[in-house]
Amino acid sequence: MTVPEMVRILRGPVLLGQCSLNAEETLVEHALRMGLSIPTNCTSGTCGTCLITLIKGDVPVDGELPPGLDEDYVEQGGRLGCIGKPTTAVDIDIRPPL
């Protein structure tokens, strides 16, 4: 029996929820399936409202960075929940990188 890959959302050490990975869904959509809300505004990667921290796993940042994300944040695990789609099991912290 294969164990499904999971998306886990935390706030610091506290697990807020988890659900099975769907590579077609954004992190915001995964959160909604868990009954959680990641704040969003533009839903296109422009404003940065949905900035979260990737702790473990892979949420690719493709090509040119969107206006809501900069290289420093990416290096610290910063990803945008409205456009970020996990490709592996991930743990994310709903707090942005400091």
> Cβ distance 59 to 38 under 8 Å?
no
| Total tally of structural domains belonging to the chain | 1
The CA distance from 93 to 71, in Å, is 18
HSE value, Cβ hemisphere, 13 Å, CA-based, for 39: 8
Show the tokens assigned to 63: 């090509």
Which pLDDT band holds residue 18 (cuts at 50, 70, 90)?
very high
Specify if 1 maps to a domain.
Answer: no
Q: Is the pLDDT of residue 98 over 80?
A: no
Mean pLDDT, rounded, for 5-18? 97
Specify if 44 maps to a domain.
Answer: yes
Q: Whole-model pTM? A: 0.93
pLDDT digits (tens, 9 = 90+) for 44-96: 999 999 999 999 999 999 888 999 999 999 999 999 999 999 999 999 999 99
Specify if 14 maps to a domain.
Answer: yes
CATH of the domain at 56: 3.10.20.30
Q: What is the DSSP letter of 79?
A: E
Residue 67, domain extent: 6-93
Specify if 15 maps to a domain.
Answer: yes
Specify if 98 maps to a domain.
Answer: no
Query: Is the torsion defined by CA of 64, 38, 7, 25 positive or negative?
Result: negative
Specify if 12 maps to a domain.
Answer: yes
- pLDDT at position 39 is 93
- pLDDT at position 4 is 85
Specify if 34 maps to a domain.
Answer: yes
Mean pLDDT, rounded, for 7-22? 97
